[in-house]
Amino acid sequence: GAGVSQSPSNKVTEKGKDVELRCDPISGHTALYWYRQSLGQGLEFLIYFQGNSAPDKSGLPSDRFSAERTGGSVSTLTIQRTQQEDSAVYLCASSLATAWVGSNQPQHFGDGTRLSIL
Amino acid sequence: KNEVEQSPQNLTAQEGEFITINCSYSVGISALHWLQQHPGGGIVSLFMLSSGKKKHGRLIATINIQEKHSSLHITASHPRDSAVYICAVSNTGNQFYFGTGTSLTVIP
């Protein structure tokens, strides 16, 4: 399809394991965003990429979280030594350019990865 | 037509003024979110609400489900409030729709 694709759609893993979440943005979209929504919590911004670079990593909750984007396309979000508080839906979005700051570029969202840490 | 409409698109205020940003939406939602984006791109979630009113410091968010409308108020505005404020809605399928943002500048 032509939308943002995330995989896996669901992931259940044991505490302490590493997980890798994948996001395949819409072709040609230079900006890519990662968010998460924990149960009952608001939408939490994690990181965004403009091309392959991430100007602001301050939203990552801890140093167990890392993200990369290569080739200006697919991005992976890696969580090392998972903890139960990492359980959430992880959402990826992409846009033609960095959205909002004076522009009208909407973000297109994937269906998310539902991560459950046992 | 956008599922989420915000107004105004740009707003300039004097320090100390009371500020209101409006958001209307046209889809069924499970929650409405107000986000703040500072220069440099970092985004902070201010509120998530599905009914009534929430207050945090000088910020107040209200929602009227019947009218499909929400407002974000800033009391006693300060230059550090200068940012882009974004309204977003989500449904039970975790689909998000974003407004295009309101760029706020507070002048000392």
Which residues in chain B are closer than 8 Å to A56, comparing Cβ atoms?
40-42
Task: Return the percentage of chain A with pLDDT > 70, whole number.
Answer: 86
Contact A101 B2 (CB under 8 A): no
Long-range contacts of A54-63 (CB under 8 A, 24+ apart): A55/B40, A55/B41, A56/B40, A56/B41, A56/B42, A58/B42, A59/B42, A59/B43
Query: What is the C-alpha separation between A59 and B103, in angstroms, rounded?
Result: 21
pLDDT (tens digit per residue) in B7-19: 999 999 999 999 9
Say what the pLDDT of residue A1 is.
53
Three-class DSSP category at B75: coil
Do B49 and B64 touch, CB atoms closer than 8 A? no
Do B34 and B55 touch, CB atoms closer than 8 A? no
- Answer whether B59 touches A (CB < 8 Å): no
- State the residue for tokens 């037509």: B1
Does the CA dihedral B40-A90-A86-A22 come out positive or negative? negative
Query: Is residue A115's pLDDT more than 60?
Result: yes
pLDDT (tens digit per residue) in A39-84: 766 678 788 888 888 877 777 899 999 999 988 899 999 999 999 9
Which residues in chain B are closer than 8 Å to A107, comparing Cβ atoms?
96, 98
Query: What is the C-alpha separation between A9 and B39, in angstroms, rounded?
Result: 33
- Answer whether A104 touches B (CB < 8 Å): yes
Query: Is residue A98's pLDDT more than 70?
Result: no
